[in-house]
Amino acid sequence: MSSPESTNEESTTLIDLDAIERDLADVEMALSRLDAGTYWVDEISGQPLPDAVLEANPLARRNPA
C-alpha cells in the first residue's frame, strides 16, 4: 500500500507533466503559426499582434486588449 506522501508526490508529478504537455503544445502551435506566416496575427480578429504582446508572451495567439 502506498503512503500518503507517495500519493502526493505522484499527483504533483502528474500535474507537472500535464502542464509541460500544455506548454509543449503551445510551443508547437507557435512554430506552426511561424511556418504558416501567421505568428504575428491575432487568430480571431486577423489584426497584427503588437510587438509588446509577443514580447510579453511569445506563445500569444490573441491580443488580450
Alpha carbon 60 to its chain centroid, in Å, reads 8
- Identify the band that residue 30 occupies on the pLDDT scale cut at 50, 70 and 90: very high
pLDDT higher at 43 or 11: 43
Residue 43 located in a structural domain: yes
Q: Determine the length of the chain.
A: 65
Residue 30, domain member (yes or no): yes
Q: Would you say residue 64 lies in a domain?
A: no
Beta-carbon contacts of residue 50 (< 8 Å; ≥ 6 apart): 63
Residue 23 in any domain: the answer is yes
Structural domain range at position 21: 4-56
pLDDT number for residue 42: 97
In a domain, 32, yes or no: yes
Kindly tell me if the per-residue pLDDT of 10 is higher than 80.
no
- Domain-embedded: residue 65: no
Q: How many folded domains does the chain comprise?
A: 1
Residue 62 lies in a domain: no
Cell representation of residue 23: 506548454
Region 14-24: mean pLDDT is: 89
Q: Is the pLDDT of residue 32 over 70?
A: yes
Q: Tell me if 34 is assigned to some domain.
A: yes
